[in-house]
Amino acid sequence: MLQQDIKVSIIGANSLSCEGLRRILNEEEFAVCHSFEDTTPLLSGTKNEPDIEECGIILFETADPHVEGEIAALRERFPDSRLVFLANCFEFDAMAGLIRAGADGYIIKDIQCESLIESLRLVALGEKVMPSQLVKHLPLRSAFSTAHQRQGSEELENLSEREIETLRCLIMGYP
């Protein structure tokens, strides 16, 4: 079965990391179309190349996990693209903020190449991808005050059945 390449744009100021990602992805069924140092060319509209609109995945490779505003702006500008954030380490609050802002994936850089590829394949299929470290934090988060529990239940109402099913699997320890 011959698959069409999944187009990827990489956003990251570290050119060595971006080149490494480019090489890893281009060996698989991904085609890295663009690399940008930051989101400015994407959000300002100065990059009017038609294939940016067709990118399946926009991969964020940056040290700053607090870029919710940029993720939200990218989500608005490229509603059909999947947004994935590569984090240096797991930070629950940063991950939650990015997911709320519209990220489809939060992947820790301490990952094997095969796992990265599989995670990006899942994201390309429309799934949300989060690190396994999330399971360790969920029991701690369930001890919130009543007010936080009410707010959390309102947020749960916004999740699809598939997202709730995925969270249940994560809580039970499934990969």
pLDDT digits (tens, 9 = 90+) for 111-159: 999 999 999 999 999 999 998 887 776 665 554 434 444 455 566 677 7
Q: Has residue 63 got a pLDDT over 80?
A: no
**What's residue 158's pLDDT?**
75
User: All domains of the chain, ordered by start, with CATH?
Assistant: 6-131 (3.40.50.2300), 132-175 (no CATH)
Distance from C-alpha of 169 to C-alpha of 119, rounded to nearest angstrom: 16
Q: Has residue 173 got a pLDDT over 90?
A: no
Angle ∠(5,115,38) on CA atoms, nearest 5: 65
| 3-state SS, residue 32 | strand
Residue 69 CB neighbour total at 10 angstroms = 11
Q: What's the one-letter identity of residue 141?
A: R
Residue 48: band (very low, low, confident or very high) from pLDDT cuts 50, 70, 90: low
What global pTM score does this model have?
A: 0.74
| 3-state SS, residue 65 | coil
Query: Which residue did the predictor score with more confidence, 18 or 4?
Result: 18
Distance from C-alpha of 81 to C-alpha of 104, rounded to nearest angstrom: 9
**Of 8, 50, 43, 58, nearest in space to 29 by CA:** 8
Return the half-sphere exposure (C-beta side, CA atoms, 13 A cut-off) of residue 129: 24
Angle ∠(150,152,154) on CA atoms, nearest 5: 75
**What's residue 142's pLDDT?**
52
DSSP 108: E
Q: Quick: pLDDT tens for 87-117.
A: 998 888 889 899 999 999 999 999 999 999 9
Angle ∠(31,18,123) on CA atoms, nearest 5: 50
**What's residue 1's pLDDT?**
33
